[in-house]
Amino acid sequence: MAKFSKKSNANPTISTASLPDIIFILLFFFMVTTRMRDTSIMVQQRLPAATQLQEIEQKSLVSYIYVGKPKEPGQHGTEPRVQVDDVFIPTTGIPQFVELEKAKLPEAERAMIWMSLKVDNETKMGILNDVKLQLREANALKINYSSVRAGVAAAGM
């Protein structure tokens, strides 16, 4: 019969040397797939679901307009508002915003600007139509209704 030799009595330590590696992999994943939050969104954002989603290729050409009910109704009321960057603006302020956004882009790309409309589900079309009218006024015609992928059952047709 083989003899089992008893080894030292010290507690075996589990090597945690690979733990940092795992965390670093997670970290790199997040660094690559996310981007910095540049604005704090002050309106409700529950995006609608759709199936025919398309991605905007050049992220640098995209400017965002947020529409929805303010998160703090005590301060800003309950009516849907338009937010750009970090402030609420009236819809008539949109052409000016578009001009500012265009000025940030190189000259050759200014006409190619995309406006991404992040509109809350419960918003009525009235305010959105005002926004669209102002975008037409500012000649920013390419828009994207930001939405999330609808459930697989709907997409599978």
Partner 1 sequence: MAKKKSRAIPEINASSMADIAFLLLIFFLVTTTIGADKGLNMLLPPKKDPTAPVDVNLKDKNVFKVIVNSRNQLLVEDEPMDVRILKEECKKFLSNNNADPTLSESPEKAVVSLKTDRGTDYKVYVKVLDELIAAYNELRAEKLGISVERYLQLDEKNPKEDELLKYAQKVYPRRLSEAEPTSVVK
* Residue whose CB is less far from partner 1, 34 or 78: 34
Site string for partner 1, 26-45 (x = CB under 8 A): xx--xx-xxxxx--------
Q: Contact at 8 Å (CB) between 90 and 134?
A: no
| Residue 95 to residues 51, 53, 134, 139, 142, Cα–Cα distance (Å) | 30, 27, 6, 8, 14
Single out the residue of 79, 86, 99, 137 in contact with partner 1 (rule: CB under 8 A): 137
Residue 157 near partner 1 by CB under 8 A: yes
Tell me how far apart the alpha carbons of residues 99 and 73 are, in angstroms, rounded to a whole number. Answer: 30
**Tokens encoding 151:** 């459930």
Per CB under 8 A, the segment of 71-79, 81-89, 99-107, 127-135 that binds partner 1 is: 127-135
Single out the residue of 126, 151, 152, 153 in contact with partner 1 (rule: CB under 8 A): 126
**Tokens encoding 17:** 């040397």
Per CB under 8 A, the segment of 70-78, 82-90, 97-105, 111-119 that binds partner 1 is: 111-119
* CA-based nearest residue to 137, from 79, 98, 81: 98
Tell me how far apart the alpha carbons of residues 97 and 93 are, in angstroms, rounded to a whole number. Answer: 6
What's the closest the beta carbon of residue 155 comes to partner 1, in angstroms? 8
Residue 147 near partner 1 by CB under 8 A: yes
Per CB under 8 A, the segment of 1-9, 48-56, 81-89, 104-112 that binds partner 1 is: 48-56
Q: Is 85 left (phi over 0), alpha (psi -120 to 50) or beta?
A: left
- Please report, as a single letter, which amino acid is at residue 97: F
**Which residue in this structure is represented by tokens 């030292």?**
8
Query: With CB under 8 A, what is the number of residues at the site for partner 1?
Result: 57
Q: Which residues bind partner 1 (CB under 8 A)?
A: 16-17, 19-20, 23-24, 26-27, 30-31, 33-37, 47-57, 59, 62, 116-117, 119-126, 128-129, 132, 135-137, 139, 141-150, 155, 157
